[in-house]
Amino acid sequence: MLIAIMGIDGSGKTTQTMLLYKALRKIGYKVKATYAGNTGIKLGKTFSFYLSLPLDIFINRLVKMKKQDFYKRYPKLARLEEFLLFLNYILLVLPKVCLYRFFFKVIIADRYVYDYILSCIASSKPYSKTLIRILFRIAQKPDLTILLDVDEKVAYARKCGEKPIDDLKKLRRLYLSFIAKIKGEIIQTYDRPAIRTFKDLLSLVMERAPQMRR
């Protein structure tokens, strides 16, 4: 069974994923928690390889420009980055999730393809609707998709203003619209202790996923 936990930065995805993982394992389920954002393959403790890494190295170390400024000057290379990230998700992230399904009864995905797609749509960078549709179709559909919804002001404070509050507000609207379309579940995290949100999450998982086998 695949459970996808999604939400804007600051909604508590990673915290809730780990709490749920520990609880299900304690109960006796064969469970795996995995980060399923668009990331790479870990090579050691501090280094990861992803397909757009050479381009990042070129921009940051050789050209020595901010990525945003670089892509404004060279918009065609922004398309190249988009394509590399698209391939990265297909070749490195999705196979990992598929592989885990052979060995574990329950997989909890901290972020999923939906987070990546919604971030692309919310971004000011150009993106291909064709690539988005392809990615959406080939990704496994989770058995349970849960949106951790939080007010953008709370998320902004939790992340110490890492992203502009207007960007968080826009992305939150996209999440709420998307979860309604796919008929997923919403848990309001509010500005409250993580353990209270977790109790709601565990109750929802146990109620909506009785088919889980230990």
Q: What is the pLDDT of residue 129?
A: 87
Q: What is the pLDDT of residue 190?
A: 82
Q: What is the pLDDT of residue 138?
A: 93
Name which residue leads in pLDDT, 100 or 212: 100
Helix axes 75-88, 129-138, angle to 10 degrees: 0
214 pLDDT exceeds 70? no
- b/e map of 119-154 (b: 16 or more CB within 10 Å)? bbebeebebeeebbeebeeebeebebbbbbbbbbeb
Helix axes 113-122, 165-181, angle to 10 degrees: 130
204 pLDDT exceeds 70? yes
Name which residue leads in pLDDT, 30 or 76: 30
Q: What is the pLDDT of residue 141?
A: 94
Domain ranges for the chain: 2-39+86-208
Summarize pLDDT for 68-98 with one digit per residue, the tens. Answer: 788 788 888 888 888 888 998 999 899 999 9
Percent of the chain scored above 70 by pLDDT? 95
Summarize pLDDT for 137-189 with one digit per residue, the tens. Answer: 999 999 999 999 999 999 888 888 778 889 999 999 999 999 999 999 999 98
Q: What is the pLDDT of residue 112?
A: 96
Distance of alpha carbon 158 from alpha carbon 154, whole angstroms: 6
pTM of structure: 0.88
CATH topology assigned to domain 2-39+86-208: Rossmann fold (3.40.50)
- Mean pLDDT for all residues in the chain: 88
- DSSP class of residue 140 equals P
